[in-house]
Chains A and B, each alone.
Chain A
């Protein structure tokens, strides 16, 4: 496994020397701060309305910052993640093939499983960094926010929500890595990854047009439906199992493609 770690370290060091990673960090921070400020304003407006018309007229979630600000914020981060992951995952295998460095990996005494795990670990590192940057916002709320009962945020919920976000990022990265292993072109890898992730996310909408039991099956498969609980900071075991299976199968397929080089 030492070689897998060496590969992961190499991936990370390359990520951090390319402008891509910084472009993604900037995009993540810029877009998410826009939506964050937006949900803060919504929250504030709700508070003012409550003062005028009474709390029973105001939706439940605006009672506290966690549900009123963080939950809508996470759902935008989920979408941003879907857009930025293809740009991070595209290079994982495609670049090696184009650069002919794949020949180095494949002729070194390294098993395909170590290559796949190493690359995936590197990918996880970069997506964790990207998502980790947004923890700035809840920290800001805790520092400046006030609540009747101590902390402005329920940190247990916030941490669960971030766990869910990471799981989502890890899933996108696994799918993107598999697609990157199929092509030499980073551009193609990014476009196909996006073309797979977005419809998969929106599968729920398609489900409305179908009958039971197909409907519940399709919405079970939909990323959007599976994320609903997790993105409210709920420990949704069924969804966790679902995302872990998607990751596992993507890694398995990547392994198959790398292994297939031996048979080409």
Chain B
């Protein structure tokens, strides 16, 4: 059984169709790169998967639970980084992470250790006492990632996780996500295509709410590369999403 299963998923904001009859599934332990030009509907799809928005049509299932029918079961299994990190500017990093851990029902005894674990993973140890408002953009992003990792949920939905990070930290987060493969199921959206080639096996490219490619990166390269041996994901992306 796939960990994430999306069938005929459609989302309309009034008249505008943001996501149009999407079908895909992600197997347990797989990392799926989720690509598409601006406004393609990536964030919208992720909001539906996490139960924040209801679908207009179709279904989405996480670990066999329908996101609309059994939202609590789904939310218990998902760590979510929205495209705007959901931070309380007045709180300190430590206070914030403790709060999110409580929201996710991390048991009281393991809470401090869990907060320390994710802050170590995301390089936050030095800023734990600082007020979020005063952090730089990249550090805010790290706090957002740390928040998603709390409680080590089996499914991670990360909307542009490396946005705003410096090259070193970006490589670190990339390594982090790669290390999640096998144990965690990850959907990762990004505009940095080499990152996808490095971390993901499989990609899903959408354009104007519709799937334009959904396959292993190797196979895509073979199909779209034609005679050229080393066609980059970037070239494929541009070719598929043009017009």
Is the CB–CB distance between A104 and B103 below 8 Å?
A: yes
Is the CB–CB distance between B103 and A106 below 8 Å?
A: no
Min Cβ gap B44→A in Å is 12
Is the CB–CB distance between A99 and B102 below 8 Å?
A: no
Min Cβ gap B157→A in Å is 9
Contact indicator per residue, chain B 74-101, by CB within 8 Å of chain A (1) or not (0): 0110101010101111110001000110
Is the CB–CB distance between B90 and A2 below 8 Å?
A: no
Is the CB–CB distance between B91 and A104 below 8 Å?
A: no
Closest to B90 in A: A17
B residues less than 8 Å from A262 (CB atoms): 51, 54, 68, 71
- Some 18 contacts from A to B, beta carbons below 8 A apart, are A10-B91, A10-B99, A13-B91, A14-B91, A99-B86, A99-B87, A100-B86, A103-B52, A103-B86, A104-B147, A106-B52, A107-B51, A107-B52, A107-B78, A108-B104, A109-B72, A109-B76, A263-B54
Is the CB–CB distance between A110 and B95 below 8 Å?
A: no
Is the CB–CB distance between B88 and A101 below 8 Å?
A: yes
- Is A105 interfacial (CB-CB < 8 Å)? yes
The 8 Å CB contact of A107, one of B80, B84, B90, B102, is: B80
- Is A256 interfacial (CB-CB < 8 Å)? no
Given contacts A6-B103, A14-B88, contact A107 B95 (CB under 8 A): no
Contact indicator per residue, chain B 49-60, by CB within 8 Å of chain A (1) or not (0): 011111000000
- Is B219 interfacial (CB-CB < 8 Å)? no
Partner-A contacts on B (CB < 8 A): 47, 50-54, 68, 71-72, 75-76, 78, 80, 82, 84, 86-91, 95, 99-100, 102-105, 147
- Interface residues of chain B: helix, strand, loop or mixed (majority): loop
Is the CB–CB distance between A109 and B102 below 8 Å?
A: no
Min Cβ gap B91→A in Å is 7
A residues less than 8 Å from B91 (CB atoms): 10, 13-14, 17
The distance in angstroms between the C-alpha atoms of A264 and B91, with both chains bound, is: 30
Min Cβ gap A254→B in Å is 18
B residues less than 8 Å from A264 (CB atoms): 53-54
A residues less than 8 Å from B147 (CB atoms): 104
Min Cβ gap B230→A in Å is 40
Is the CB–CB distance between A14 and B82 below 8 Å?
A: no
B residues less than 8 Å from A3 (CB atoms): 102-103, 105
A residues less than 8 Å from B89 (CB atoms): 99
B residues less than 8 Å from A215 (CB atoms): none
Closest to A106 in B: B52
The distance in angstroms between the C-alpha atoms of A264 and B47, with both chains bound, is: 12
Min Cβ gap A93→B in Å is 14
Given contacts A104-B100, A107-B78, contact A10 B52 (CB under 8 A): no
B residues less than 8 Å from A105 (CB atoms): 103
The distance in angstroms between the C-alpha atoms of A124 and B109, with both chains bound, is: 29
B residues less than 8 Å from A100 (CB atoms): 82, 84, 86
- Is A149 interfacial (CB-CB < 8 Å)? no
- Is A156 interfacial (CB-CB < 8 Å)? no
Is the CB–CB distance between A14 and B90 below 8 Å?
A: yes
B residues less than 8 Å from A52 (CB atoms): none
A residues less than 8 Å from B87 (CB atoms): 99, 101
The distance in angstroms between the C-alpha atoms of A107 and B80, with both chains bound, is: 8
Given contacts A6-B102, A10-B99, contact A103 B82 (CB under 8 A): yes
Is the CB–CB distance between A18 and B90 below 8 Å?
A: yes
Closest to A9 in B: B99
B residues less than 8 Å from A263 (CB atoms): 54
Q: Give 11 new A-B contacts, CB below 8 A, not counting A6-B99, A13-B91, A109-B105.
A: A2-B105, A6-B103, A10-B91, A10-B99, A13-B90, A14-B90, A18-B90, A99-B87, A100-B86, A106-B52, A262-B51
Min Cβ gap A205→B in Å is 41
The distance in angstroms between the C-alpha atoms of A38 and B103, with both chains bound, is: 48
A residues less than 8 Å from B71 (CB atoms): 262
Min Cβ gap A4→B in Å is 10
Contact indicator per residue, chain A 1-30, by CB within 8 Å of chain B (1) or not (0): 011001101100110011000000000000
The 8 Å CB contact of B104, one of A7, A99, A109, is: A109
Is the CB–CB distance between A108 and B88 below 8 Å?
A: no
The distance in angstroms between the C-alpha atoms of A99 and B82, with both chains bound, is: 12
Min Cβ gap A17→B in Å is 5
The distance in angstroms between the C-alpha atoms of A58 and B76, with both chains bound, is: 68
